[in-house]
Amino acid sequence: MQDTLSQTFSALADPTRRAILARLRHGEASVSELAEPFLGQMTLPGVTKHLKVLEKAGLVTKGREAQWRPCTLNAEPLNDVAAWMDEYRAHMEASLDRLGEYLKTVTKTVTKTTPPSAPTTSPDSPDDHHG
Amino acid sequence: MQDTLSQTFSALADPTRRAILARLRHGEASVSELAEPFLGQMTLPGVTKHLKVLEKAGLVTKGREAQWRPCTLNAEPLNDVAAWMDEYRAHMEASLDRLGEYLKTVTKTVTKTTPPSAPTTSPDSPDDHHG
């Protein structure tokens, strides 16, 4: 049997399942509402299977009403993921620092190779053309 | 082909792989050092397989020295997980609030059902018997 944290990570390891969760962030939805955007790429039973994985992991809860059984997001398992991630905080920050240093080097190189009279718009100049 | 985020979540969905990452939090280690705690439950090739999954997901980097190829933790992919999780922050906090409310109810019930003269040690009383 899979441990709870592995089950959560496993459930999140799929773009369709993450898209379903993203939809549920905006409120509850029926199975057919959730399935609709995916029916071009997969069948309704295909989507239902993904939903079952999310339900088993406790990330989605289904209402008990006989006719309309709305699916709801349950973010509780994500708190365990966050707690697990906390132990890696220092390493994550170090890797962001390294990325920052790298980007600084790249920016310097780009600035040096771009001629000063290049007709590019400055990121500071206001853009009045909305839409 | 699996997208990057799915690959990261997939790599994290295993207790052995998470234990390997936890070991690497304390510094680099050789494959045999990493394998040692698991050799009672699995073979060296078994551990190596897990390491390959972590390397493929970019969570572990292997040194290039011919003899001693130390494995290092690379937390960069975890920053993408953190960014993904950020979108669920509000829902996660709401679920923690619900848990807090529930625990308050439980505590109240326990306090009510415990007789006042029960010979239990209060959580406030200092415990002098260390060890």
**pLDDT, tens digit, for every residue of A23-67?**
999 999 999 999 999 999 999 999 999 999 999 999 999 987 767
- Going from N- to C-terminal start, the domains of chain B cover 2-75
**pLDDT, tens digit, for every residue of B39-52?**
999 999 999 999 99
Q: Across chain A, what does the average pLDDT equal?
A: 86
**Nearest residue in chain B measured CA to CA from A92:** B75
- Percent helix, strand, coil in chain B, to 5, is 60, 5, 35
- Predicted confidence (pLDDT) at residue B55 exceeds the cutoff of 90: yes
Q: In chain B, pLDDT over 70 holds for what percent of residues?
A: 85
Binding-site residues on chain B for chain A (CB distance < 8 A)? 2-3, 5-7, 9-10, 12-15, 18, 21-22, 25, 73-76, 78-79, 81-82, 84-85, 87-88, 91-92, 94-96, 99
Beta bridge partners of A73: A60
What pLDDT was estimated at residue A116?
57
Q: Which residue has the higher pLDDT, A98 or A67?
A: A98
According to DSSP, residue A60 is labeled E
Task: Using an 8 Å CB-CB cutoff, list chain A residues near B18.
Answer: 5-6, 84
Q: Which of A76, A85, A91 sits opposite B95 (nearest CB)?
A: A76
Best residue of B17, B21, B76, B103 to probe chain A, by most A CBs closer than 10 Å: B76
| Other beta carbons within 10 Å of A88 | 20
What pLDDT was estimated at residue A128?
46
Q: Which residue has the higher pLDDT, B111 or A28?
A: A28
CA distance readout (Å), A26 to A21, A40, A62, A119? 9, 22, 16, 43
Confidence band for A117, pLDDT divided at 50, 70 and 90: low
Number of A–B residue contacts, CB under 8 Å: 87
Give the global pTM: 0.78
- Predicted confidence (pLDDT) at residue B38 exceeds the cutoff of 50: yes
Q: Which of B12, B25, B95 sits opposite A79 (nearest CB)?
A: B95
- Predicted confidence (pLDDT) at residue A110 exceeds the cutoff of 80: no
What pLDDT was estimated at residue A126?
47
Question: Model ipTM?
Answer: 0.78
**Nearest residue in chain B measured CA to CA from A12:** B9
Q: Which fold has domain A2-75?
A: Arc Repressor Mutant, subunit A (1.10.10)
